[in-house]
Amino acid sequence: MLLDTLEPIEINRRATIVDVARHAGVSTATVDRVLNGRQGVRAPTVQRVMRSAAELGYVEEDALSAVAPQTLANISFLLPAGTNRYLAHLGRSIVEQSALFHKHGIKPSVEYIKSFNPEALAVALQRHGRSADGIAFMALEHPAVREAVNRLSAKGVPTVTLISDIGNAQRSAYLGLDNRSTGRLAGYLIARFVGKAPAKVAMIAGSLSYRAHEEREMGFLHVLKESYPHIEVVGIREGHDDENMNYRQMRMLLSKHPDLAGIYNIGGGASGVGKAIKDARREESLVFVGHGLTPDTRAFLIDGTMDAVITQNPNDTISRVARVFKNLRDGRPADEDVEPLRSEVIFRENLP
């Protein structure tokens, strides 16, 4: 946190507080508190303000040493609770890689929030914002979540969205795939597996309140309409990333469309979809494409139940999160030296 002994800093008046505030992405009141050594501003925000002030010539570069961070920044990770095995693996990996975060001056903690509940997520964001120096979370597209993010930004608490983003909110960065492109990729894969004969395919989403799932659906539908008009999409169902619900949804699809040729599982809960396909003995005649390389999707690839898995490496996600928060702590742009995440397509023959 801000040092109690920090003295007011000698200022170069060629720039203004408004300039510094705009550059640092904070309010002028926050800039005033930092420059006058008053308490109540988090260490990462102090660093960001001071670096902006130095870059604009508002203070001397030597002033940065007076506010060098002395402790680890507390970063909260808020992930959806449930049976999504990829997210569970991501949460475990965050804890296991604490040493990496410490190297970047960060102390991580993980909390699982009730899935698909924007009010619960908004409350958790506000609660963690009272003590954390930053928050990384999987966003839900909802006004309550957007308002919580904007309030945190106004207080100088940066937020980073993981896997699924949120529109028109003042988050600092998004670390995830281009989900519209990912949906197009899934459509392309299914179309190539299905072939040129007329066919029916369907989708199961976790929830379209996730922007990621909505964008994947749009990409999937668009590529089929543009390039593969012989393939009919017979419906989309929501399974809330729950294995049991996905099992029931898949059995209903197979019952209603016994000639179904392909299924795209947009979110988690792949084990439920795969079990339904195996119980119906459709492993060889139905194309199954989904997301997230986990022990269950790996097993489905090996036994032929699943044809392709689109995934993002969780370790790549973690290393980029650490870098983003280090950048923010040091007063640099969030995305400086942070490469975009890229999707990987895993088949049985290229399993890592």
pLDDT in tens, 63-85: 666 565 557 899 999 999 988 99
- What count of other Cβ atoms lies within 10 Å of the Cβ of residue 246? 29
Average pLDDT of the residues of the chain: 91
Question: What is the average per-residue pLDDT within 205-220?
Answer: 94
Distance from C-alpha of 178 to C-alpha of 166, rounded to nearest angstrom: 13
What is the dihedral angle through the alpha carbons of 276, 282, 284, 285, rounded to the nearest 10 degrees?
A: -130
Which residues have a Cβ under 8 Å from the Cβ of 227 and sit 6 or more positions away?
Answer: 188, 191
pLDDT at 8: 52
pLDDT in tens, 185-204: 999 999 999 999 999 999 99
pLDDT exceeds cutoff 70 at 3: no
pLDDT at 1: 39
pLDDT exceeds cutoff 80 at 139: yes
pLDDT at 48: 84
What is the dihedral angle through the alpha carbons of 286, 291, 294, 299, rounded to the nearest 10 degrees?
A: 10
pLDDT exceeds cutoff 60 at 10: no
pLDDT exceeds cutoff 80 at 178: yes
Distance from C-alpha of 75 to C-alpha of 328, rounded to nearest angstrom: 12
- Enumerate domains of the chain plus CATH numbers: 17-67 (1.10.260.40), 73-175+314-341 (3.40.50.2300), 179-311 (3.40.50.2300)
Place of tokens 């958790």: 124
pLDDT in tens, 270-290: 999 999 999 999 999 999 999
Please choose, from the candidates 298, 164, 151, the residue with its C-alpha nearest in 3D space to the C-alpha of residue 241.
Answer: 164
pLDDT tier at 12, thresholds 50, 70, 90: low
Question: What is the average per-residue pLDDT within 148-152?
Answer: 97
pLDDT tier at 5, thresholds 50, 70, 90: very low
Distance from C-alpha of 276 to C-alpha of 271, rounded to nearest angstrom: 9
pLDDT at 66: 59
Identify the weakest region by mean pLDDT among 2-6, 106-110, 343-347: 2-6
pLDDT in tens, 302-336: 999 999 999 999 999 999 999 999 999 888 899 99
Question: What is the average per-residue pLDDT within 125-144?
Answer: 96
pLDDT at 202: 98
- What count of other Cβ atoms lies within 10 Å of the Cβ of residue 123? 15
Identify the weakest region by mean pLDDT among 87-96, 99-108, 242-251, 274-283: 99-108
- Record the pTM: 0.79
DSSP 8-state symbol, 91: H
pLDDT in tens, 31-53: 888 888 777 787 778 878 888 88
pLDDT exceeds cutoff 60 at 259: yes
